[in-house]
Amino acid sequence: MRDAAGLTSASRAQRQPRGGIGAAINASFRYWSLLPAILIFAALTLYPLLNLMRMSVSTIDFVRGAEVWTFTPLRNLESLASDDVLRPAVVNTVVFVAVSVAFEMVLGVALAIAVAGLPRAKRIVRTLAILPILVPPVAIGSMWKLMYNYDFGIFNQALVAVGLMPVNWLGSTSIALASVIVVDIWHWVPFVFLILFAAVEGIPPDLIEAAHVDGASRWQTTRLVTLPLLRPAIVVAFLFRAILAFKVFDEVFLLTAGGPGTSTELVNLHLYKVFFEQNRLGYGALLSLAVIGAIVAFLLVSRRAALAIGRKS
Amino acid sequence: MDVATRGSKVFRGGIASRVGVAFALFAIIGPFLWILTASFKHQIAIYAGQFPFTPTLSNYVDVLAGRRSDFPGNIANSLIVASTSTALVLIAGTLAAYSLHRFRWPAWLGAGFLAWTLVFHMVPVLTLLGPWYVAFRELDLYDTRFALVLTHVTINLPMTVWLMRTFLREIPPEIVEAAQVDGCGPFDTFRRIVLPLALPGLIAAGILAFIFSWNEFPIALTLTSRATATVPVAIARFAQQYEIQYAQMAAAAVISTVPAVILMFLGQRFIVRGLTLGAVK
């Protein structure tokens, strides 16, 4: 018999017989090595998922600190139907994801190609590009809260200095969502840049030179040689961003918390408010399940799309 | 197209891309400089939009040594939670990645686990905060650092498993097999042979896990109160008060970026690899 590790019984016999715990740990390693991760994931994701289903058909009240569960399967569905905030939250989330990811892709790809063409200073750009990805999103929210401030923010100071009217960047219903999207673009262009820069650096220079020798202009080379070669990396970066953009919460919570009105309300912010400001755990669970379902559906569809694109290229 | 116009086009493209890169660099650094200067201004100087201004350390003194400031405690909480959860996620994640790579598991368990980590990684953590809140209250773990450590291990586990998987795959199987033929048990092989070879991966995953835990906000916001709050929660409190404490918020935010700045210089190689590996492979 060969086990999965590829050990033959002959090589097993060669093993020095060592008594006690060490031998037991070794003998059973094959079985317990996966255990910690499985236990953590079962306890903190699978069990909560099942609990979500139970919560979604219940109403949970807190009576003197104790939870009281009542089985009310229809009540949460009724809440869903009468939720006035959900619609703007979904619309804003879709706009947020679509617009910010589109800008992040275009700017990130352009920056990667531009930096790759520089004679030097590539490392400095790469070093600085890491910074927005690593600092706490809450700190990013703080920075932009200072810069967007109506009275003393840098944008309004600049506008006033050239004789224009100050703009209420975060307080006006028509501009707030755009302001928040700008922050996300600032945050994540560096990420797209990092992925695409690695891909650009992987293109054999001969290919580019050959195009130049054949008389292609810089723009033609980029469009007809570089970009097609980058397509797999572009697809991957796009999928990463499209899915992770849904997870945005911290910066928007700090900048506007969904306001003014519902103009920057996002699905995640709404979830937070339903759970922890309105204390509607049952309805929040129903919303959570809907969000998880939507993400899984998106994953399945995008996997197909990615496979299709991969086949074409 | 004659040679002259083509030449000028190539030239113009070069200049345009240089200007673009310069602007991008300025755009990345600008917000950092703005909050850095704000953190050295009195609240009044911030309101007046003064420039130039007399720099003051008072915000940092207020935040770090003020008598009513919780911030030193917040930093301690963040350091404890981030380092503990990083150590635990490295152990659990590396063991799992090695196990999935080396041993044969039934598909529902092996492939199922990997697929489920991927799905969980893409689902907003807000969806699980409700059941976590309920469960930790029932277990009397609400408002403890332990609960925060557990949840941070959970959110960093997918990244760690997938990252370590790609690093472990690069280890030549002959080395592992040779060790086993020499009589080294499976666990000893893992500990003495595989782990040292996987060190770059452990550093990359460790840096990212620490940073993500240090940065994590929504879980800490909902599962902690004053005594166990972490740095991001404290910054949000400055920003959410009725009268926003801009000066202290700025100082606290600048302090919160210190780990990222240090690691950016020390671990750049590992971070870039860690961030781009999943995408390239």
**Helix boundaries (H) for A117-249:** 122-134, 137-148, 154-161, 176-201, 205-213, 218-221, 227-244
A196 domain residue, yes or no: yes
**Averaged pLDDT for residues B215-241:** 91
Q: How confident is the model at residue B5 (pLDDT cuts 50, 70, 90)?
A: very low
**Averaged pLDDT for residues B40-55:** 81
Tell me whether A177 touches chain B (CB under 8 Å): no
Query: Percent of chain B beyond pLDDT 70?
Result: 93
Whether the per-residue pLDDT at B92 is higher than 90: the answer is yes
Q: Three-state DSSP class for A68?
A: strand
**C-alpha torsion B155→B159→B162→B163, nearest 10:** -150
**With DSSP H G I counted as helix, E B as strand and the rest as coil, what are the percentages for chain A, rounded to 5?**
75, 5, 25
A158 domain residue, yes or no: yes
Tell me whether A101 touches chain B (CB under 8 Å): no
pTM: 0.89
Model confidence pLDDT, tens digit, residues B96-127? 999 999 888 898 888 999 988 988 888 999 99
Interface test with A, best of B43, B91, B122, B188 (most A CBs within 10 A): B122
**Averaged pLDDT for residues B43-71:** 84
Q: Check CB contact under 8 Å for B131 and A5.
A: no
Run of H or E including A66: strand A66-71
- Residue A312 is predicted with a pLDDT of 59
Whether the per-residue pLDDT at B74 is higher than 90: the answer is yes
**Averaged pLDDT for residues B230-240:** 91
Determine if the peptide bond prior to B55 is cis (ω within 30°).
Answer: no
With a cut of 50, list the residues of chain A below it in pLDDT.
1-15
Q: How confident is the model at residue B2 (pLDDT cuts 50, 70, 90)?
A: very low
- Residue A3 is predicted with a pLDDT of 47
Residues A196, A237 contacting (CB under 8 angstroms): yes
Q: Which amino acid is at A9?
A: S
Whether the per-residue pLDDT at B1 is higher than 70: the answer is no
Interface confidence, given as ipTM, is 0.89
Domain total of chain A: 1
Residues B246, A146 contacting (CB under 8 angstroms): yes
CATH assignment at residue A231: 1.10.3720.10
Tell me whether B112 touches chain A (CB under 8 Å): no
Compare B268 and B277 and report the one with higher pLDDT.
B268
Q: Check CB contact under 8 Å for A139 and B35.
A: yes
Tell me whether B21 touches chain A (CB under 8 Å): yes
Residues A195, A109 contacting (CB under 8 angstroms): no
Delimit the domains of chain B by residue range.
3-59, 60-280
Residue of chain B minimizing CA distance to A60:
B134
Whether the per-residue pLDDT at B7 is higher than 80: the answer is no
| Domain interval for residue A159 | 79-312
Whether the per-residue pLDDT at B29 is higher than 70: the answer is yes
Q: Fold for domain B60-280?
A: MetI-like fold (1.10.3720)
Query: Percent of chain B beyond pLDDT 90?
Result: 48
- Residue B207 is predicted with a pLDDT of 93
**Averaged pLDDT for residues B8-13:** 39
